[in-house]
Amino acid sequence: MDSGNSQLILVYFIGTVGMILLAAAIFFFFVTYQKRLLQKQLEVNKIKQEQQEEILKNTIQAQEKERKRIAQDLHDEVGAMLSVVKLNVGRIEKKSEETKAKTLANETKSYLDEVITQVRRISRALLPPSLEKLGLYFAIEELANWVNKAGQIQIVCKKTGEHFRFDNKKELAIFRIVQELLNNAIKYSEAETISIHLRFSGNANLAVVVSDNGKGFELEEKIVTGLGLRNLESRTQIVDARFKLKSTVGKGTRAVICLNA
């Protein structure tokens, strides 16, 4: 082989190696760029998620503040005024000598009793006093009793394990989730019975199971379109709880909330 061919082969070899190195460099640059781009996207998504969580926290705090204000106004002002009106109607009933007037006054007192009861129910739903004083189970039990008084649906509330307290914010968050689950079941499930079971464990864990015997729904559709479901999940995440929902058409719905102290 003469020197000319040797040099040509050497040029081909060097050119081939150079092309391979260039291709490897381009590939390495592309992979590195993709990793950096992915990392940046993850950082942006994390920032967005943190911002959304912060917005949700602020929204929930504002809602709870407004609920507290409305509940106090209903209890202190509206409830008090209704009680005064009832007393005045009672005086009219006693002083009146006409039978029709007495009957009308008596009927008015009955209506006022019903209105006062509804005001108390709404006030307790907005801010249940038993939640702060007694704890989560007793507040949920009280809520169930108020719903049962309406006679439209039967709610069975029970607990296992020794009842213990959580942080006030956590208890309020779980109460609101259970309250929303009950509202949804009453509105849409066509259930006859709703069961609420609170399971307190010795290692400071709580599982709340809310289930109904209603018509159920397609869970995949709700995940895509259900803003309320996403709000429930967000509420649980804020207090480091876990939320699971299972529903089968014709077999009812079952939600589980797990919370650590």
The 10s digit of each residue's pLDDT in 62-112 is 776 777 777 677 766 777 777 878 888 888 778 777 787 778 888 888 888
Interatomic CA distance for residues 17 and 146, integer angstroms: 82
Q: At what angle do helices 79-95 and 99-126 cross, to 10 degrees?
A: 170
Which tops the pLDDT comparison, 58 or 204? 204
Find the CATH number of the domain harbouring 142: 3.30.565.10
Whether residue 185 is found in the same domain as residue 240: yes
Counted domains in the chain: 2
CB 241 within 8 A of CB 229: no
Its domain, for residue 8, covers 1-127
Pair 123, 139 in one domain: no
Closest CA to 166 of 203, 206, 138, 127: 206
Tell which wins on pLDDT, 5 or 68: 68
Residues 26 and 142 in one domain: no
- Strand pairing class (252-260; 193-200): unpaired
What is residue 212's predicted lDDT score, i.e. its pLDDT?
95
What mean pLDDT is predicted for residues 208-222? 86
Average pLDDT, the chain: 81
What percent of the chain shows pLDDT beyond 90? 21
Q: Which pLDDT score, from 0 to 100, does residue 155 have?
A: 94
DSSP state of 188: I
Q: How far apart are CA 261 and CA 167, in angstroms?
A: 8
In a shared domain, residues 142 and 257: yes
Please state the rounded mean pLDDT for residues 6-23: 71
pLDDT of residue 159: 94
The residue out of 75, 103, 127 marking a domain boundary is: 127
Q: Band of the pLDDT at 127, cuts 50, 70, 90?
A: confident
- Of the spans 57-66, 97-106, 157-166, which averages the highest pLDDT? 157-166
Q: Do 239 and 162 belong together in one domain? A: yes
Q: Which residue has the higher pLDDT, 2 or 77?
A: 77
For residue 1, pLDDT beyond 60: no
Query: Does residue 164 share a domain with residue 93?
Result: no
Are residues 173 and 117 located together in one domain of the fold?
A: no
Q: Are residues 182 and 111 in the same domain?
A: no
Best-predicted range by mean pLDDT (2-16, 57-71, 244-258)? 244-258
State how far the Cα of 206 lies from the Cα of 254, in Å rounded to an integer: 16
Question: How far is it, in rounded angstroms, from Cα 130 to Cα 120?
Answer: 13
How far apart, in whole angstroms, are the C-alpha atoms of residue 160 and residue 50?
36
Flag whether pLDDT at 18 surpasses 90: no
pLDDT, tens only, 247-256: 989 889 999 9
Q: How distant, in Å, are the alpha carbons of 133, 160, 161, 212 from that of 245?
A: 30, 21, 23, 12
175 or 237: which carries more pLDDT confidence? 175
Same domain, yes or no: 175 and 71: no
Q: How far is Cα 106 from Cα 91, in angstroms, rounded to an integer?
A: 11
The whole-angstrom separation of Cα 134 and Cα 138 is 6
Bigger pLDDT: 227 vs 217:
217
- The residue from 77, 98, 127 where one domain ends is 127
Same domain, 234 and 115: no
pLDDT tens figures, 181-200:
998 898 888 999 999 999 99
Nearest to 140 by CA among 200, 79, 98, 91: 200
Over 80: is that where the pLDDT of 258 sits? yes
Bigger pLDDT: 85 or 154?
A: 154
